[in-house]
Amino acid sequence: MTGYAISSYGTFLNMVALNLFVYETTGRALAMGLFMAVRLASGFAAGLTAGGLLARFTAKSVMLWTNIAQASVMLLLVLAPDGLRTAALVAVSVVVGSCGTLFMVSLRSSIPEMVGEDRRSWANSLSITGRSLAMVAGFASAGVVVSLVGYTAAFVVDTATFAVCAVTVALLPIPGGGKRRGGGGSRGRAPGEAAAAGPGEAGAPARRRGPAALAALAAAPGLALMVALRGVDALGSSSHNAALPVYSSELDTARPAVFVSAFWCLWALGNIVVQQLIQRYARRTGRSVGALGFGWGTCLMSAAFVLAFEGFPMVATAAVALVAGAADGLTEVSYTSHLQTLPAGLRAHAFGLSATVENLGFGAGMILVAAALDHYTPLTVVGWSHGAAIVFAAVFLIRVAGLRTSSPGPTST
């Protein structure tokens, strides 16, 4: 998780440095948008292939080589002559987008093999805490690094972070390397949180029953609705990501970056605090945050992001940012832990499909939101986007409650 946090720092550093570098290299804002589009499209495609890739190779080898590939392509960008910079940037967007998705699918799907079924929530919280800290450090230091030592130094730092992560993966002991094994579900599943046996198990090849990703969705009641909600949530996330700079510029035209930076720092703080609470809850009770936590967390998070654009006093807005971060952390842990209860043979396919849906929701959302912000206020755009997520989350909660009522058994929070 330390290696993952270090590479995440490099990723967030580069989210700022690369976009600025693309703009300065091409002189066109459209090129920056195309760079992001290629990166998201690559992640989308990688999500579709992740399950099949992990069925053939171990999770450890996929995590290792995706980090090596990202380090290599960043080094290529550093060494590329001026005439090949554009081609190198395209390569970076493709490799970073696809390999980042493959790494996350491999990591999340292999956590039960790393730490055991009973410690999934603890491990998920630890990884999210590390990423939140990395996000704050990456965004906070990006301006300083680029201003003081330039783009080349920022890219070298990013290359080094991927190399460090690759070394930690190489040293990581995963039983079987995280190789997908058929069968083997989780103990004490809650209704609607996993099925006893899904397509592709008990000697029945998944290809006879349909695509493996669809088989993964069929393996648990309500799972398809949960993945769909994650996609709608990603669309909502695109709205506040696009609207925050606009809103911040309206608040302070002289220093538009201040509000955005402060908001994300408070968001990360709320995220980190809730991870500590979840870890303590998991250690004390031995239970994970389940499907209901995901649904209620999505409602709270979406409502908080809408309130952030209401124009409240700064103290109230700071509290809203903390709540948004805490709710976001709750949804991430509950969602990831939920998918990890799937049988090992289907888990990677579910995470791959989820990554595809999230990239699709976020990418489509960025296009729609960017167009809407030309005609409507940030509050209106964010309100409609996150309002859709709240409505979808309410449907999901009703579905989960119905499953629990019809199938009494052990439950999770």
- What was the pLDDT predicted at 165? 94
Is residue 360 within 8 Å of residue 44, measured between CB atoms? Answer: yes
- Report residue 194's pLDDT band, with 50, 70 and 90 as the boundaries: very low
Q: Domain 206-406: which topology?
A: Growth Hormone; Chain: A; (1.20.1250)
Average model confidence (pLDDT) across the chain: 80
2-178 matches 206-406 in fold: yes
Tell me which residue of 122, 103, 121, 26 sits closest to 59, measured CA to CA.
Answer: 103
Average pLDDT over residues 138-154: 78
Domain ranges of the chain: 2-178, 206-406
> What pLDDT digit, counting tens, does each position of 278-291 carry?
878 777 776 767 77
23, 132, 190, 251, 254 from 248: Cα distances, Å: 21, 22, 43, 5, 10
> What pLDDT digit, counting tens, does each position of 243-263 carry?
887 888 788 776 666 787 788
| CATH for 2-178, options being 3.90.1150.10, 3.40.50.1000, 1.20.1260.10, 1.20.1250.20 | 1.20.1250.20
- Report residue 409's pLDDT band, with 50, 70 and 90 as the boundaries: very low
Span of 63-67, 102-106, 200-204 with lowest mean pLDDT? 200-204
- Report residue 5's pLDDT band, with 50, 70 and 90 as the boundaries: very high
The answer, yes or no, to whether residue 207 has pLDDT greater than 70, is no
Query: What sign for the dihedral angle of Cα 14, 16, 22, 25?
Result: negative
Between 409 and 128, name the one with better pLDDT.
128
